[in-house]
């Protein structure tokens, strides 16, 4: 199911997403700095460059990564869109404490998202090696 979009945000381009290595058809960790700023978003939708694919589970466990995802971070692969792999990342928030919206991205203020992704069969041209991040509601 498509994720309904409410806010599309241009996030800082520095530092860029950084894979641990780029061998073909390899599961790698990618560090993506995300900051909800003032979006009030419930989640982020990540869209990978052509040929890359999000794996399940796409959250890198605490024991395996070097930058340590926050415990509340969640990552769910979504159906591809226009041939590009997508994933939804958010923060598990205790809704019993408050009814405030926008808690779904607050954990990304503390640490970048570290996710697993499979690399393409062959290198892609630099012009196509573009990641998209959308702040979404729900």
Does residue 15 carry a pLDDT above 90? no
The per-residue pLDDT for range 88-108, each reduced to its tens digit, is 999 886 655 555 555 688 888
Cα four-point dihedral sign 117, 105, 70, 10: positive
Q: Could you say which DSSP state residue 103 is in?
A: G
Task: Say if residue 3's pLDDT is above 60.
Answer: no
Please state, in angstroms and rounded to a whole number, the distance separating the CA atoms of residues 52 and 47.
9
Q: Which of 39-48, 73-82, 99-108, 125-134 has the lowest mean pLDDT?
A: 99-108
Mean pLDDT (whole number) for 16-26 = 67
pLDDT digits (tens, 9 = 90+) for 26-71: 888 888 888 888 888 889 999 999 999 999 889 887 666 555 677 8
Strand partners, 114: 31
Strand-pair partners of 30: 19, 115
């Amino acid at each position: 199911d498509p994720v309904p979009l409410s806010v599309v945000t241009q996030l800082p381009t520095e530092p860029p997403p950084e894979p641990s290595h780029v061998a073909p058809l390899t599961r790698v960790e990618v560090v993506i700095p995300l900051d909800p700023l003032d979006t009030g978003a419930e989640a982020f939708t990540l869209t990978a460059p052509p040929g890359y694919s999000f794996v399940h589970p796409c959250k890198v466990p605490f024991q395996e990564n070097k930058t340590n995802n926050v415990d509340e971070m969640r990552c769910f692969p979504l159906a591809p869109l226009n041939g590009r792999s997508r994933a939804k990342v958010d923060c598990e928030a205790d809704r019993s404490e408050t009814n405030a919206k926008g808690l779904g991205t607050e954990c990304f203020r503390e640490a970048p998202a570290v996710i697993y992704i499979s690399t393409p069969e062959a290198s892609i041209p630099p012009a196509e090696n573009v990641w998209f991040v959308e702040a979404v509601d729900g």
